[in-house]
Amino acid sequence: MARKKNSPKGKPLSPAQIRGAEARYLMNTYRRPAVVFTHGRGCRLYDSTGREYLDFLGGIAVNALGHAHPRLVRVIRREAGRAIHLSNLFQNPYQAPLARKLAEWSGLDRVFFTNSGTEAIDGALKLARAYAHAQATASGAAPKTRILALENSFHGRTFGALSITHPTKYREPFAPLVPGVEFVRFNDVADLEAKFDSTVCALVLETIQGEGGIFPISEAFWQRARALATQRDAALIADEIQCGLGRTGRHFAYQKFSSRPDILAVAKPLAGGLPLGAIIANEKFASAFVPGMHGTTFGGGPLICAVALEFLNVIEDSNLLENIRERGGELRQGIEQLAAKFDFIREVRGEGLIVGIDLSIDGAAIVTEALRGGLLINCTHEHILRLLPPFIIRHKDVTEFLNKLEKALQQATRLKTTQNAESKAQPIALAAAR
394-422 burial, b for 16+ CB within 10 Å, e for fewer? eeebbebbbebbbbbbebbbeeeeeeeee
- Comparing CB distances to ligand PLP, the nearer of 221 and 342 is 221
Binding to ligand PLP (CB under 6 A) within 191-220 occurs at 206, 210-211
Supply the Cα-derived Rg of the chain in whole angstroms. Answer: 23
- Comparing CB distances to ligand PLP, the nearer of 200 and 241 is 241
- Candidates 195-203, 234-242, 368-376, 426-434: pick the segment binding ligand PLP (CB under 6 A): 234-242
- At position 37, the amino acid (one-letter code) is F
Q: How many residues bind ligand PLP (CB under 6 A)?
A: 14
- Per DSSP bridges, beta strands 235-239 and 263-266 are parallel
Q: Is 241 in the site for ligand PLP (CB under 6 A)?
A: yes
Binding to ligand PLP (CB under 6 A) within 278-337 occurs at none
- Per DSSP bridges, beta strands 37-41 and 44-47 are antiparallel
- Comparing CB distances to ligand PLP, the nearer of 214 and 241 is 241
One residue of 67, 144, 146, 155 binding ligand PLP per CB under 6 A: 155
| C-alpha distances in Å from residue 252, one per residue of 106, 133, 173, 410 | 7, 29, 33, 36
What x/- string results for residues 103 through 142 when contact with ligand PLP is judged by CB under 6 A? -------------xxx--x---------------------
- Comparing CB distances to ligand PLP, the nearer of 55 and 211 is 211
- Comparing CB distances to ligand PLP, the nearer of 48 and 116 is 116
* Residue 367 CB, nearest approach to ligand PLP (Å): 17
- Comparing CB distances to ligand PLP, the nearer of 144 and 155 is 155
* Residue 115 CB, nearest approach to ligand PLP (Å): 8
Q: Is 380 in the site for ligand PLP (CB under 6 A)?
A: no
- Comparing CB distances to ligand PLP, the nearer of 160 and 249 is 160
One residue of 55, 79, 122, 239 binding ligand PLP per CB under 6 A: 239
- Candidates 130-138, 235-243, 249-257, 423-431: pick the segment binding ligand PLP (CB under 6 A): 235-243
* Residue 382 CB, nearest approach to ligand PLP (Å): 17
Binding to ligand PLP (CB under 6 A) within 59-78 occurs at none
Binding to ligand PLP (CB under 6 A) within 135-154 occurs at 154
Interface ranges with ligand PLP (CB under 6 A): 116-118, 121, 154-156, 206, 210-211, 239, 241-242, 267
